[in-house]
Amino acid sequence: MTAMAHEPMATDHETLLDYFLALETPEGFRAELIEGEIIVTPPTDGNHERFFSRLTKQFLAKSATDMDFSGGKGLLLRPGDRKNHVIPDATFAPTELDLFLDAEPWMPSDGVALVMEVTSSKPEHDRIAKRRCYARAGIPLYLLVDRGKATITLFSDPSGDDYVGNNTAPLGKPLPLPAPFSFDLETTDFL
């Protein structure tokens, strides 16, 4: 009788990244590599999409600077980062930069003005891990709609592993946005 050798599960980041990039998820599911952990989320529910749609419309209609928008664009948060491949619900960049033109599936985050997340089935990832990832990447603004807490928070001024500034409003109240957006985000119809 011969013993079967089993490959130990690789723990180095290069092998994890290779595994992640080759991962096939069921249709509609989304896989992300967040702080070295593979996170697979199911398709979003209708309420998530309602928040997403209402917010996106405001950004495109009211922003002081013309913005390009991508829903579900993969971001490689830092060059050479083998632990973080994140997909924000929405990514906004000034149109003049043309960041999305010919972009790879995992594009660098340089030039991104704001990323937005609407909490889903794994809200702690949006509240903590993704916030740290976006701050480390130097993304100037992170907007979090926290459905569980009924709040909307704008994180600003990234420094190291977090954002120094944050402004939170309860859903139903406006949230002022700084330049390059320069408008009050209305949330009255989110109640």
- Domains of the chain (ranges plus CATH)? 45-190 (3.90.1570.10)
Distance between CA atoms of residues 89 and 103, nearest Å: 17
Residue 72: C-alpha distances to residues 14, 89, 182 (Å)? 24, 5, 24
- Label residue 84 by pLDDT band (50, 70, 90): confident
Q: Which pTM was predicted?
A: 0.87
pLDDT at position 7: 37
Tokens 């859903």 sit on residue = 171
Amino acid 5: pLDDT: 37
What is the rounded average pLDDT of the residues 72-83? 83
